[in-house]
């Protein structure tokens, strides 16, 4: 009798354990994904090995592409920093709300940056219980109401302006009251939330360290991390540790640039390791991309693309783009349809069951990646450079580029098949019907957009003349 009772007790214990295990697994299965966006600055299309780089080994960044999806037609919405970032963090074209210029450092001006009427990914994920952190480069406004902690983020570690120096000994300004020019802001001490800190590490390494700490501290609940490295944006500065990885390369900007990318790759490796250590890597979406194309010059490699940062050609907008989420994306996926940075917000909203207050322009890509949907996520994609009087639209494989010829005072229109001719070398002679279709597509898009609402970086001198109190601000 005792043996029978013992057996029954053992079975009950085993059943209880199995039930608890199943409940744990079910809970894990239903948990919303963590989301990490790794955004780099001015990275050349050909400067990661998953896009063919021979100069710069990027094994950790490559893991995102190889263990998930690589996008061969991955775009951003603008070919310089600020507007591109605005669209990424809102999931909406920056031209809808006037953020179509690179914001100036003007901490007294609430219009200089991302419109306060817009909601960020951190905002709508926060409503669903996510914790969010922004790291590195902000460049969406220096006014106190435009800073990360006012835009949905629970934590911030980085700097507010469009660039920064990399070595701690260069951070000689203790607060923004000491900033007297656009470039001065590159020398401010870093901010942790709203407090200046005495950071001792090389900037890229410091951002990677803080990213790991955030993951470790928030692994039990869903989180969103916006890890915006400013590397390899100028000034070109790298520690000896990273320079020594390129012993056969001649000293100069290219070598330093390569070292800076290698530092980012190390940081990505640390982030991926932290996810695995916390046992959350299977349910974490990690996205890697650049904010725009590589800067013009010999320091970057744009691969087969025509153009560079600031250009209206593919080299301005088509960027290294990869996405890893083991739970949803099959390893080794190569996706060839056009996608865009705004799609990140749409994926986040869908899987967090969030409802953004504004209609997103992005599309949830996951059904296209796993075969649930066919076709192309975007009927067309459009770009506009308002001040340069240039614009472009891609529909299917065809792309129209319109540039203003200042000498002739007229527009120059050209057409390309960017699937067959990624380098945009061969101009097409399209039928009138095809030309009109692309022109109509752009006009339909343009009718929904507005003009820029603030003066931009290229208007630095004019803005200062108009705003004599530009740098007169309180200490913070």
The proportion of the chain whose per-residue pLDDT surpasses 70, expressed as a percent, equals 93
CATH of domain 32-369: 3.40.720.10
| 5 or 336, which is more confident | 336
The CA distance from 119 to 343, in Å, is 15
Q: What pLDDT does residue 474 have?
A: 67
pLDDT value of residue 22? 46
Nearest to 261 by CA among 37, 69, 53, 36: 53
Residue-averaged pLDDT of the chain = 93
- pLDDT at residue 285 above 90? yes
Query: Is residue 395 scored above 80 in pLDDT?
Result: yes
pLDDT at 24: 40
The angle at the Cα of 32, spanning 28 to 34, to the nearest 5 degrees, equals 100
- Does 139 qualify as catalytic in the annotation? yes
Question: Quick check: 405 pLDDT over 50?
Answer: yes
Question: Are 94 and 76 within 8 A, CB to CB?
Answer: no
Res. 230 pLDDT band, cuts 50 70 90: very high
Domain extent listing, the chain: 32-369, 388-451
Q: For residue 149, how many other CB atoms are within 10 A of its CB?
A: 15
Local structure of residue 72 (DSSP, 8 states): T
Is there a contact between 14 and 21 (Cβ–Cβ < 8 Å)?
no
Q: Measured between alpha carbons, how far is 56 from 78 in angstroms, rounded to an integer?
A: 26
| Statement: residue 210 has pLDDT above 70 | yes
CA distance readout (Å), 327 to 28, 33, 196, 215: 11, 9, 39, 18
Backbone phi and psi for residue 474, each to the nearest 5 degrees, phi listed first: -70, 165
Q: How confident is the model at residue 29 (pLDDT cuts 50, 70, 90)?
A: low
Q: Kindly tell me if the per-residue pLDDT of 425 is higher than 60.
A: yes
Active site residue 258: no
pLDDT of 466 higher than 90 = yes
Q: Which of 17, 60, 127, 139 is catalytic?
A: 139
Residue 472: its pLDDT value, please?
81
In this structure, the chain runs to a length of 476
Instruction: Tell me the average pLDDT across 202-207.
Output: 98
Handedness of CA 56, 57, 61, 63 (dihedral sign): positive
Fill in the DSSP letter of residue 33: P
Cβ–Cβ contacts within 10 Å for residue 283, how many? 19
Choose the catalytic residue: 81, 164, 258, 308.
81
- DSSP class of residue 220 equals T
pLDDT of residue 23: 43
240-282 pLDDT tens trace: 999 999 999 999 999 999 999 999 999 999 999 999 999 999 9
Average pLDDT over residues 422-439: 97
* The pLDDT of residue 25: 42
Nearest to 346 by CA among 153, 114, 93: 93
Average pLDDT for 287-294? 98
Show Cβ contacts of residue 347 under 8 Å, excluding neighbours closer than 6 positions.
35, 285, 362, 364, 365, 366
Residue 91 has pLDDT above 70, yes or no: yes
DSSP SS3 for 66: helix
Asked whether residue 79 carries a pLDDT value surpassing 50, the answer given is: yes
pLDDT digits (tens, 9 = 90+) for 113-151: 999 999 999 999 999 999 999 999 999 999 999 999 999
DSSP designation for 136: E
- Global pTM? 0.93
Peptide bond into 232 cis (omega under 30): yes
């Amino acid at each position: 009798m005792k043996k029978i009772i013992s057996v029954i007790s053992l079975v009950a214990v085993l059943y209880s354990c199995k039930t608890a295990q199943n409940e744990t697994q079910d809970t894990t299965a239903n948990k919303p994904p963590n989301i990490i966006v790794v955004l780099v600055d001015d990275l050349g299309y050909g400067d990661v090995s998953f896009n063919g780089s021979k100069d710069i080994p990027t094994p950790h960044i490559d893991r995102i592409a190889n263990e998930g999806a690589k996008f061969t037609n991955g775009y951003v919405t603008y070919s310089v920093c600020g507007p591109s970032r605005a669209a990424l963090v809102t999931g909406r074209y920056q031209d809808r709300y006037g953020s179509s210029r690179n914001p100036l450092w003007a901490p007294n001006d609430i219009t200089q940056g991302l419109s306060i009427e817009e909601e960020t990914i951190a905002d709508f994920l926060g409503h669903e219980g996510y914790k969010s952190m922004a790291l590195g480069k902000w460049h969406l406004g220096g006014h106190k109401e435009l800073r990360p902690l006012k835009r949905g983020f629970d934590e911030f570690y980085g700097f507010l302006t469009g660039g920064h120096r990399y070595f701690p000994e260069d951070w000689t300004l203790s607060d923004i009251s000491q900033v007297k020019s656009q470039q001065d802001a590159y020398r401010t001490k870093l901010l942790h939330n709203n407090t200046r800190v005495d950071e001792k590490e090389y900037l890229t390494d410091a951002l990677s360290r803080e990213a790991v700490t955030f993951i470790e501290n928030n692994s039990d609940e869903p989180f969103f991390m916006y890890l915006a490295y400013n590397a390899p944006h100028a000034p070109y500065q790298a520690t000896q540790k990273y320079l020594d990885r390129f012993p056969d390369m001649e000293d100069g900007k290219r070598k330093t640039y390569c070292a800076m990318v290698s530092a980012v790759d190390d940081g990505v490796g640390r982030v991926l390791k932290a996810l695995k250590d916390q046992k959350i890597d299977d349910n974490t979406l990690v996205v890697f991309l650049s904010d725009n194309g590589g800067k013009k010059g010999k320091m970057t490699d744009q691969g087969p693309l025509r153009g560079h940062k600031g250009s209206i050609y593919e080299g301005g907008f088509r960027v290294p783009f990869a996405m890893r989420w083991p739970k949803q994306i099959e390893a080794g996926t190569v996706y060839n349809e056009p996608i865009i940075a705004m799609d990140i917000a749409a994926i986040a909203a869908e899987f967090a069951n969030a409802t953004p207050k504004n209609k997103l322009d992005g599309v949830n890509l996951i059904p296209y990646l796993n075969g649930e949907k066919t076709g192309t996520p975007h009927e067309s994609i459009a770009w506009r450079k308002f001040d340069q009087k240039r614009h472009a639209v891609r529909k299917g494989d065809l792309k129209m580029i319109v540039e203003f010829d200042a000498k002739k005072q007229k527009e120059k229109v050209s057409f390309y098949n960017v699937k067959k001719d990624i380098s945009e070398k061969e101009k097409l002679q399209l039928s009138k019907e095809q030309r009109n279709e692309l022109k109509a597509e752009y006009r339909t898009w343009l009718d929904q957009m507005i003009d820029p609402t603030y003066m931009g970086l290229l208007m630095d001198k004019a803005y200062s003349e108009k705003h004599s109190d530009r740098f007169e601000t309180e200490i913070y």
